[in-house]
Structure 1
Amino acid sequence: MSASPPLRPKVEKIVLAYSGGLDTSVILKWLAETYECPVVAYSADIGQKEDWAAVERKAWETGADAVVIRDLKEEFVRDFVFPMFRANAIYEGTYLLGTSIARPIIAREQVRVARETGADAVSHGATGKGNDQVRFELGYMALAPDLKIIAPWREWDLNARERLIAYAESRGIPVPVTRARPYSMDANLLHISYEGGILEDPWAEPPDDMFTWTVNPEKAPDRPVYVEIDFERGDPVAVDGERLTPAALLGRLNDIGAAHGVGRVDIVENRFVGMKSRGVYETPGGTLLRAAHMALESITLDREVMHIREGLVPRYSELVYNGFWFSPEREMLQRLVDETQADVTGTVRLKVYKGTCTVVGRKAERSLYRPEFATFEADEVYRQADAEGFIRLQGLRLKIRSLVRGA
């Protein structure tokens, strides 16, 4: 006995997060046929290299009722990447959250498009095994709880590439004739990710020709380059003295980092849905940016403020990774983080060389670093004899514990 088809809600119009690839092209046609309603193809330009005219043309040819392409690069960096970097967010000590932070802005604009076009449903192309389905749908729920959510990968039986291709060919949807990459890619202005296929063996080294952005560190220039980044209240505002918009600034740092092989990581991460997944990432500009921001904080943040904030970084990072950008707890942590950035204004100098970036200078007008206190030379502002009482008080509980144990 075959399983009964899922009960589907009545839908008037759907906005689909559309990339123009095989999956979302099939989804566009499948939605129109299955739900018998108009489908709006919506694409977000967040810095990925796309032929947007070709994406639009393919959406029309596949049967879209309307096509909406939004340039979100500046919003993406200003309202999502920069706040996250003010928190020094990093997932499981390595991943700079390039895919994770892109999903909330895509979802936010998708909701706007739904309102503008009178749609009552939104859809995405994320599979039922990954994190992105969670990130998209938590965004929809937080911003527009009235919209219906359609996740084709959890409904249909096109769960193999051969079935997708057969469906596409039967509907006249062009199937790429170029050699398929043996892995999955996702790109934006912050990073490029590679997952699946040949990378599913955690022992296998990624092939060098897989990387599309960064130079192999072994083949990077033999001379280092120095770069200075200016910050105001925790946000970068200039590179080498030139003030730039957020997107242009991140793009400049990407160019510098990529040319010198900076930003490659290879990790096995814990997905929110419960499985481990191997991912390889290129985040050249973000790697430079985080190193510089942390260096500036080292001279501008109070010790106890820094330690409390650092204790919150894993929690903040998990919220971003798991899709809770629009949650009250992330917003609360963001307010706390932003409060710590009031004096994080200054300049950091980095040395970039063969896959590494090293902090070689930092300065700030309101720096808490005072040479007259820190010097190893003779000084008149610190009484070294005071340290004896400090140490005695710190060690008192240790002495008592030892006496008790020895009794």
Structure 2
Amino acid sequence: MNNQKKQIKKVVLAYSGGLDTSVIIPWLKENYDNCEVIAVAADVGQGKELDGLKEKAIKTGASKLYIEDLKSEFVDDFVFPTLKAGAVYENKYLLGTSFARPVIAKRIVEIAKAEGADAIAHGCTGKGNDQVRFELTIKAFAPDMAIIAPWRTWELKSREDEIEYAAKHDIPIPVTKETNYSKDKNLWHLSHEGLDLEDPANEPQLDKILEMGVSPMKAPDKATYVTLGFEKGVPVSLDGVKMDGVTLIEKLNEIGGANGIGIVDLLENRLVGMKSRGVYETPGGAILYAAHEVLETLCLDKETFHYKQQVALKFADLVYNGQWYTPLREALSAFVDDTQKTVTGEVKLKLYKGNIITSSATSPYSLYSEEMATFGEDDVYDQMDSQGFINLFGLPIKVKAMLENKKK
């Protein structure tokens, strides 16, 4: 045993009760001289997945289990700031797993410090993005903390190996070799990866894998209307009823899921350099993003709206790459917050078989002027003014054409 392993007597493990972390507890004790393992499960809205975790963690060798309710912090400090930014990774992904990692890792660091732990362990694979997201957050709050990532060092090379290891050690796990999709669930989304999805030529078996809703083909033949109220870019009400962010997202998940909303099949570029294919369910999130964008078209001027779209691309990259706790992300959020001062109002949407259709939008800060835009007669816009504007706007084109004509 090397010196570092000898020095590690207490480890705090990011624990979900899934395949990876179930196997990691006994593995840590075997490989780190029977060290104490403290499991931390973060409740970010994964629901029934937390049932029975304490008994399971203790049975597999943990000395204790913390279950931390982080749902409100997750929504208020991570989900809504990203929503306000309009950040979408590669045009489709609403960053469901990405921004859940920093809030989880931050709390794990707090517990590790309180417990006097020597190291923090996680079950992220060496091929994935989550290892970066967890570890960058740990470095931000505990730069000297040792990090143990078993997937980068252990003898188990696949999820099938893990299943066999679990069977040998009498560890109960929630998957079999036949149903071994890699999933991540929280309040915002549910992701599916692996098995037949690893081949982009295979159509996703939606009726087999969907859990948050139904496919558009099985959605009702009748449209559902929802009205969302926003204050400074933050959603605060549904159909006229004020509610907190967690409750609002839960209700929208139900409504959106029932209408086949928010299903994405994406072949994405991972941070570590490879492409991966996943199916994501984000019913409530898709509705919120659509409503927020509609309201911004009403309340933001052209230059701010267009520049903010550029900021959204960079913001999405930072979130995806685990760089939440960085000066740039904080600076971009400050810009976004300033743009949201007037993004207040209501948006009504029609949901129908996977489609989100704008019905209406109103705001006390609307920049739209029917008097200006009308095709009817008006007294506020002199159409002759456009002639001088076009002459000046088109002057570079005219000069270039004149120069080319001289050369002929």
TM range (shorter): over 0.9
Q: TM-score under structure 2 normalisation? A: 0.95
Aligned residue in 1 for 2:244: 245
Q: Offset at 1:166?
A: 3.7
User: Is contact 1:316-1:330 (8 Å) kept?
Assistant: yes
SS at match of 1:342: helix
1:24-43 aligned at under 5 Å gives the runs: 24-36=21-33, 37-43=35-41
CA deviation vs aligned residue, 1:282-321 (integer Å, no higher than 9, x gap): 1100100000000001111111111111111111101101
Residue matched to 2:94:
96
Superposition map of 1:126-275 within 5 A: 126-176=124-174, 180-207=178-205, 208-275=207-274
| TM-score normalised according to structure 1 size | 0.96
Mapped contact 1:6–1:155 kept (Cα < 8 A): no
Q: In structure 2, the residue corresponding to 1:316 is in which secondary structure?
A: helix
Q: Output the CA distance in 2 between the equivalents of 1:8 and 1:273.
A: 27
- Measure the CA separation in 2 of the matches of 1:177 and 1:45: 21
Determine if the alignment matches structure 1 residue 316 to structure 2 residue 323. no
Contact 2:230 2:237 in 1 (8 A): yes
1:224-257 per-residue CA deviation (whole Å, 9 max, x = no partner) reads: 0111000000000000011111100111111111
Choose which of 120, 123, 128 in structure 1 pairs with 2:118.
120
The answer on whether the counterparts of 1:217 and 1:262 sit within 8 Å (CA) in structure 2 is yes
Shift in Å, 1:389: 0.4
Q: Secondary structure at the match of 1:97?
A: coil
SS at match of 1:341: helix
Runs of 5+ unmatched residues, structure 1: none
Identity %: 52
Matched, 1:299 2:293: no
Q: Which runs of 5+ in 2 are unaligned?
A: none
Seen in structure 2, the aligned counterparts of structure 1 residues 284 and 116 have a Cα distance that, compared at 3 Å, is same
User: Once the 2 structures are TM-superposed, how far is the Cα of residue 182 of structure 1 from its aligned partner?
Assistant: 4.1
Would the aligned equivalents of 1:182 and 1:198 in 2 still touch at CA under 8 Å? no
State how many pairs are aligned. 404
Q: Is the 8 A contact 2:228 2:239 kept in 1?
A: yes
**Residues 175, 314 of structure 1: alpha-carbon distance in 2 compared, 3 angstrom cutoff:** closer
Change (3 A) 1:92 1:178: closer
More displaced 10-residue stretch of structure 1: 11-20 or 342-351: 11-20
Match 1:15 to one of 12, 15, 38:
12
1:44-55 residue pairs with structure 2 within 5 A? 44-55=42-53
Deviation at residue 177 of structure 1 after TM alignment: 7.2
CA gap of 1:177–1:367, structure 2 versus 1, over 3 A, is closer
Q: RMSD across aligned C-alpha pairs, in angstroms? A: 1.7
Deviations 1:59-88 (A, max 9, x none): 011111111001111111111100000001
* Cα pair 1:138 1:323 within 8 Å, conserved: yes
Letter matched to residue 338 of structure 1: D
Q: Is the 8 A contact 2:19 2:175 kept in 1?
A: no
1:102: Cα distance to partner? 0.9
